[in-house]
Homo-oligomer: A and B are copies of this chain.
């Protein structure tokens, strides 16, 4: 399945911060065919560092999509049955308007002049894209981590526009610990002199700071167990030399590699804007409480968490489930066993596939 990222352009979007972004572009991909009744569309929401390339093999570069194990013919999001859409988020750096986009007012990249964005802005832009594609009502909105936040936001902001939501390994709002980890990443970037208050486009990006930020992220995405299984206390070089700074543990080498690799594919200012949007996100914002917010949602819900995910622990999913049940909403919940930590929703997809497949089929039957 060779896929190509497409782009839609809109005149403007009004943001929660009061600013208007004009014009605004959205990068997206689609897989499968929209049926004639336009009732089989599913919106996939990517996590923090994801992009529109969720499935298939990219036209340029040949890279598989980030959820290719979940989306495709016969897979959980079965493209023989469903029309699947994935868009890069607002503020991102993979084709959708973000800090590195040209500010028409200046002819230069926005950098830190880019307006502050929220998950609500992100989802509002997606709504414009979905309408642009001729779809009034989505069969489902699904995503893990930050993708799950967007699924929740859809359910509350546009209850009539979705039949179901699948928030995975996510939360209704970041805890102090989650904000703290994001803040460390931001401070690492801003501590890098090459960041230069965000004005590094065309010169050297803050590669060292961004790499450190990514290293912290990777630790939180894995579990203590999965790191033990993958690296243990093995050294990169096998020699039993005396203690020395050049003796590097495999886990150190892995993190350094992943950190430096990230610099080639992600924009540091997008890191700042998107993590801030995650931290600001609280589904209760503007509604008074979690329960009052979720009362607005009429979609069916499938909420999933993973046993070893300590970044988005199960108790956060249960808060969502409990609030939905308290308002008599249709919600199924499973905590799936996995050693992979937060990464489980990306890599340990066996049971997740079965649950999503069944949930989508029953949604299609019950809400035609």
Chain B residues in 8 Å Cβ range of A249: 176, 179, 183, 279
The count of identical subunits is 2
Return the chain B residue nearest A173 by Cβ. B233
Q: Main secondary structure on chain A at its contact with chain B?
A: helix
Q: How many residues of A contact B (CB 8 A)?
A: 58
Residue-wise, chain A 1-42 has the 8 Å CB interface mask toward B (1 for contact) of: 000000000000000111000000000000000000000000
Within 8 Å of chain B (Cβ to Cβ): is A177? yes
Q: How far, in whole Å, are A310 and B313 apart by their CA atoms in the complex?
A: 13
Contact B176 A191 (CB under 8 A): no
Q: How far is the CB of A268 from chain B (nearest CB, A)?
A: 13
Contact A227 B176 (CB under 8 A): yes
Return the chain B residue nearest A313 by Cβ. B224
User: Which residue of B183, B192, B227, B255 contacts A184 across the interface (Cβ within 8 Å)?
Assistant: B255
Chain B residues in 8 Å Cβ range of A227: 175-177, 180
User: Which residue of B179, B219, B232, B310 contacts A181 across the interface (Cβ within 8 Å)?
Assistant: B219
Residue-wise, chain A 100-133 has the 8 Å CB interface mask toward B (1 for contact) of: 0000000000001000111000000000000000
Say yes or no: A176-B251 contact (C-beta < 8 A), given A184-B216, A215-B187, A280-B243: yes
Chain B residues in 8 Å Cβ range of A216: 184, 216
User: Which residue of B116, B212, B228 contacts A191 across the interface (Cβ within 8 Å)?
Assistant: B212
Contact B243 A17 (CB under 8 A): yes
Most interface-central of A183, A193, A219 (chain B CB within 10 A):
A183
Return the chain B residue nearest A19 by Cβ. B242
Chain B residues in 8 Å Cβ range of A242: 16-18, 116
Q: How far, in whole Å, are A182 and B218 apart by their CA atoms in the complex?
A: 14
Contact B187 A259 (CB under 8 A): yes
Contact A183 B16 (CB under 8 A): no
* Sampled A-B contacts (12; CB under 8 Å): A116-B245, A117-B243, A175-B228, A176-B249, A177-B224, A179-B252, A188-B191, A191-B192, A191-B208, A212-B212, A245-B272, A310-B310
